[in-house]
Amino acid sequence: MLKFTVFRTVINSSLERLSVQFTRLTNPFFKLTTMTSINTICIYCGSSAGRLETYSSSASAIAEALVSRNIKLVYGGASIGLMGGVANRVLALGGEVIGVIPKALAIKEVVHRQLTELHITESMHERKMLMAELSDGFIALPGGIGTLEELFEIWTWAQLGFHNKPCGLLNINGYYDSLIGFLDHVLAEQFVKKEHHAMLLVETNPNTLLDRYSNYQSPTIKQWVNEKET
């Protein structure tokens, strides 16, 4: 009986979390119609500094660009790698930094304890959702599998019309050249529509990218799949 009660509690807890996630998927974050201003930017990037020093210097450059525009940084909450570098530079310049990290990674990724705000979530899913809710736009710097996963998920949400916030790549030292070429191939092979492909903004200069964000108008999204396409 005890085992059954524990099992039922676990199931109910899981269902409750799923219900919360579904409710959040229907909240105003996904229903915005116009982007009026950019007050916060979410940066996805590596917990490693990478092979080249230019990755770190460019992370500092985007930090400086954010602070110069009075834009808050939202990021993954770590104190190491490019993540720590961009956060530290924003803080050093007097800017505001909001970190969001799951409890399971708070120790592994050496959580940053000197942030303006720090949110520790129960799961990766809650982390990504909260980062999305807190942000007016999203930028990927060089990073690994996690960075790519976060970028593609938030871009997919834009494609589906769940939000109308700008998504982009800061292509430092050609880091994303091969990915950009592959995405062009995906477009040519008709697995993504032209208007959806164009949603991902790509620049090599942080200020140029942020200029495009401030003037961003999301395309009108028609029904993603209709009866003729099924």
The model's confidence at residue 230, banded by pLDDT at 50, 70 and 90, is very low
Range of weakest confidence among 9-18, 155-164, 181-190, 194-203? 9-18
Rounded Cα gap, residues 193 and 19, in angstroms: 32
Rounded Cα gap, residues 70 and 144, in angstroms: 28
Task: Report CA Rg, the chain.
Answer: 19
pTM strictly above 0.75: yes
CB atoms within 10 A of CB 220: 8
β-strand partners of 99: 75, 118
Rounded Cα gap, residues 160 and 229, in angstroms: 15
CB atoms within 10 A of CB 119: 17
Examine the pLDDT at 34 and tell me if it is beyond 80: no
| DSSP symbols for 112-181 | -SSSSEEEEESSHHHHHHHHHHH-S-EEE-S--HHHHHHHHHHHHHHHTTS----EEEE-GGGTTHHHHH
Q: In the chain, pLDDT over 90 holds for what percent of residues?
A: 74
Rounded Cα gap, residues 18 and 13, in angstroms: 9
The model's confidence at residue 40, banded by pLDDT at 50, 70 and 90, is very high
The pLDDT score that the predictor gives to residue 191 is 97
Based on DSSP, count helices (H) and strands (E) in the chain, helices before strands. 8, 7
At position 108, the amino acid (one-letter code) is: K
- Give the list of residues 6+ apart from residue 107 with CB closer than 8 angstroms, or none: none
Examine the pLDDT at 109 and tell me if it is beyond 80: no
CATH class of 36-213: alpha beta
Name the nearest CA neighbour of 90 among 66, 117, 111, 114. Answer: 66
Examine the pLDDT at 28 and tell me if it is beyond 50: no
The pLDDT score that the predictor gives to residue 108 is 72
Q: What is the mean pLDDT of residues 53-58?
A: 96
Tokens, residue 73? 């940084």
Calculate the CA 21 to chain-centre distance: 17
β-strand partners of 102: 121
Name the nearest CA neighbour of 137 among 69, 52, 220. Answer: 69
Examine the pLDDT at 30 and tell me if it is beyond 80: no
The model's confidence at residue 228, banded by pLDDT at 50, 70 and 90, is low
